[in-house]
Amino acid sequence: MPEWIAKYWIQWAFGIITGALGLAYKRLSAKVKKHEEERQAKAKAQEAEMAAIKEGLLAILHDRLYQACTYYIALGRIDTAGLKNIEYIYKAYHALGGNGTGTELYNRAKALPLKED
């Protein structure tokens, strides 16, 4: 028996080492996969949150644009400060993908006669 062990000990050692490396690879691979899945889930949640923030900001900008434009349209005139204000609001609103309602109001307010107080 000791002769058999002496003759095949290198093969046994390599077999044990190979098995240990295979097990370590399997565990490490599972950890990497789990980490990647968690990262993707977190990224998806962040994308959803950013979309909600964008929608909320767009709603606020639309409201401000609507309020300012209807005020100046009802007044029948606009001053330079008001024109500059609605221009800033409209640029941000349009860049976020605002719809035609805001554009129509902006164009109507922009076409008003310019009066200084």
User: What kind and span of H or E run contains 35?
Assistant: helix 2-75
Compute the average pLDDT of residues 15-25: 92
Q: Is residue 11 pLDDT above 80, yes or no?
A: yes
Distance (Å) of CA 84 to CA 74, 81, 87 = 18, 5, 5
Taking only the tens place, the pLDDT of each residue in 55-68 is 999 999 999 999 99
Q: What Å distances lie between residue 36 and 19, 24, 31, 40, CA to CA?
A: 26, 18, 9, 6
Mean pLDDT of the chain, nearest integer = 91
Residues 31-42 have pLDDT tens digits of 999 999 999 999
Q: What is the pLDDT of residue 98?
A: 85
Domain boundaries in the chain? 2-110
Residues with Cβ within 8 Å of 57's Cβ and at least 6 positions away in sequence, in order, are 96
**Cα distance between residue 115 and residue 78, in whole Å:** 6
What does the pLDDT read at residue 4?
A: 67
Stretch 10-30: mean pLDDT: 91
Q: DSSP for 51-110, please give it.
A: HHHHHHHHHHHHHHHHHHHHHHHHHT-B-HHHHHHHHHHHHHHHHTT--HHHHHHHHHHH
Decide if pLDDT at 5 tops 70: no
Token pair 């006669």 in the structure block, residue: 113
Q: What would the pLDDT profile of 73-87 be if each residue is shown by its tens digit?
A: 999 999 999 999 999
